[in-house]
Amino acid sequence: MAHSEVENTAIPVIDISKPSDEVARQVLEAASTHGFLFIQNDGVTIPPKDINDMFKLSEKFFSSSDEQKAAYAIHSDKAGGTNRGWVKMAGESLDPEGQKQGDPKEAFNIGPPQPHLQPLPSPLSTSSSLILRFQNSCHALCTSILSLLGTALETPDPSYFASRHDQTLGPSGTIFRMLYYPSASTATKEDDRSIRAGAHSDYGSLTLLFRVPGQPGLELFSPKNQTWVPVPVNPSPSTLSHPPILVNIGDLLSFWTGGMLKSTVHRVTFSGGGERYSMAYFCHPLDDAKLERVESRVLAQADGKMGREELRSQRKRLGLKEDDEEVLTAKEHLDRRLRVTYGL
């Protein structure tokens, strides 16, 4: 019994370097049970050196002065507009109902490089080619995963999801985000001390998450066991020389699949208490993509029963009526979420 519970919460590590129906099935299985999966880093898709270099750059950036960072404040024109730029310490709350104070973290958001990269402060500006390469390799990995999901769900067009994320075709809400969580002693003063990022689900389709070995803290909420489960940085250090890339399903894939894919609630806690850096690539579809249920033989067989509860709580978070048939576009959905997070 205990053994099977452990198995139930273990997030699988999947090698997608040779895509096949079987690999697609594994991705779908993880996405519809945990909402989280690890992709084995083949060393090529997102070179580990680029990941390390990005973390070094992030460290350098966050150690620059607040004045320098504030010149590129989130949503400011100088930073390229809505949802781009620097989020100061405690500048946002991912769980406004559950937490009195903002999250004890800083962040910097970078939008898609089409038609061009947004204006960046130093030292990010002098590493724009690394940033661009990183964004492009993250997007390529997301596209591969979206294709595998289309294949496994047997949508009439297997590229249904992937083609809606072709950023060369128009604007999207995609954001590459660098995160810095200062050590516990320098973070917030009062309550909420144990939480670094409040409980939330992600707003996009897919998120790629990069973390640093030795800097734990991410936890997912297992609805089945009603507990918080830590997500290791490297679940298998003895066999995987590079930490695998963590992927989680966001709200939009959950909408598209009537809740079959799980947009699992997660948070970051202070476990360990030291400084922590992470990077997230929030992959979003084109702004005008409609969040309607996709045609899929697999979904039809599941009879819409899977994930109905999850979908209901998602609609509630968005202020949509439960039985409302209103179909949002990706942009309308994102605007609603940003309004709650930032009071826009």
Nearest to ligand AKG of 87, 289 (CB atom):
87
Nearest to ligand AKG of 113, 217 (CB atom):
217
Nearest to Fe ion of 120, 279 (CB atom):
279
CB 13 within 8 A of CB 40: yes
Residue 219 binds Fe ion (CB under 5 A): no
Partners of 268 in the beta sheet?
197, 218
Query: Binding Fe ion by CB under 5 A: which of 202, 219, 251, 310?
Result: 202
Residue 212 touches which member of ligand AKG, Fe ion, none, C-beta under 5-8 Å by kind: none
CB of 36 to ligand AKG, least distance (A): 11
CB of 231 to ligand AKG, least distance (A): 8
Residue 141 touches which member of ligand AKG, Fe ion, none, C-beta under 5-8 Å by kind: none
Residues that bind ligand AKG (CB under 6 A): 179, 197, 202, 209, 211, 218, 266, 268, 278, 280
Give residue number: closest CB to ligand AKG.
278
CB burial of residue 55 (10 Å; 0-12, 13-18, 19+): middle
Nearest to Fe ion of 106, 202 (CB atom):
202
CB of 43 to Fe ion, least distance (A): 26
Residue 179 touches which member of Fe ion, ligand AKG, none, C-beta under 5-8 Å by kind: ligand AKG
Nearest to ligand AKG of 160, 282 (CB atom):
282
CB of 266 to ligand AKG, least distance (A): 5
CB of 234 to ligand AKG, least distance (A): 14
CB of 215 to ligand AKG, least distance (A): 9
CB of 45 to ligand AKG, least distance (A): 20
CB 232 within 8 A of CB 296: no
Nearest to Fe ion of 54, 231 (CB atom):
231
Task: Report the sign of the C-alpha dihedral through residues 316, 311, 107, 80, in that order.
Answer: negative
Residue 245 touches which member of ligand AKG, Fe ion, none, C-beta under 5-8 Å by kind: none
Nearest to Fe ion of 107, 299 (CB atom):
107
Side chain identity at residue 85, one-letter code: G
Nearest to ligand AKG of 160, 181 (CB atom):
181
Options 11-19, 45-53, 200-208, 327-335: segment touching Fe ion (CB under 5 A): 200-208
CB of 177 to Fe ion, least distance (A): 9
Site residues for Fe ion per CB under 5 A: 202
